[in-house]
Amino acid sequence: MNWHSLSDFIDMGGYGLYVWGSFGMTAAALAWEVLMVSQRHRGALREARSRSMEDEGLDIETAAAGENHGA
């Protein structure tokens, strides 16, 4: 297709709503996935840290209190 102006490009031969709507929904889904993966990653790190401290015989509250008073 040849577009002679920006409005022709945006209109996409009458299918602009569907084309740009599809792009928008795909971008929103990808952004949502990135946010959810980041949240799960932080949760996994938090859980691993907690388990590591439990293995060392510490609990999170004791470790946090020691960090605050030791500095």
Alpha-carbon gap, residue 47 to 41, rounded angstroms: 10
CA 41 to chain centre: 10
Tokens read off for 59? 């609990």
Q: Specify the higher pLDDT residue, 9 or 30.
A: 30
Whether the pLDDT of residue 23 is over 60: the answer is yes
Domain membership of residue 27 (yes or no) is yes
Which residues span the domain enclosing 58? 6-70
In total, how many domains does the chain have? 1
38 alpha-carbon distance from chain centroid: 5
Residue 1 in any domain: the answer is no
Is this prediction's pTM over 0.85?
no
In this predicted structure, the answer to whether residue 62 has a pLDDT above a threshold of 90 is no
pLDDT at 16: 92
